[in-house]
Amino acid sequence: MAEDRAHDDTSSALQAKLADDKVLKLTTSILIGNGLRVSADEQRKWLRNRIESIANPLREKMLNLIHLSDKDILNEKKREAAMQD
């Protein structure tokens, strides 16, 4: 889902970069490839940050639940409170 969309976005961005006259005028495939690698790396970093921004709060909520005692986890109000922290 999100990974597929990110892959498609990266692919489209790289194809657009290849169609750019500045890139086409570069003299070697190494120079072209370096530009494409930088672009792909930026996309990976953006996706990694996006995933972390979603996963970290969820991870914290799960840890709050994990740290509840057996008695407290059976208490709906305490579970809800743990998920709100």
Q: Residue 44: CB partners within 8 Å, gap ≥ 6?
A: 10
CA 50 to chain centre: 4
Task: List pLDDT tens digits, range 12-70.
Answer: 887 888 788 888 788 888 888 888 888 888 888 988 999 999 999 999 999 999 999 99
Domain count of the chain? 1
**Encoded tokens for 73:** 């986890």
Separation CA 81–CA 85 (nearest Å): 6
Query: pTM here?
Result: 0.62
C-alpha–C-alpha distance, residues 66 and 71, integer Å? 12
Domain membership of residue 65 as a residue range: 2-84
* Contact between residue 78 and residue 68 where contact means Cβ atoms under 8 Å apart: yes
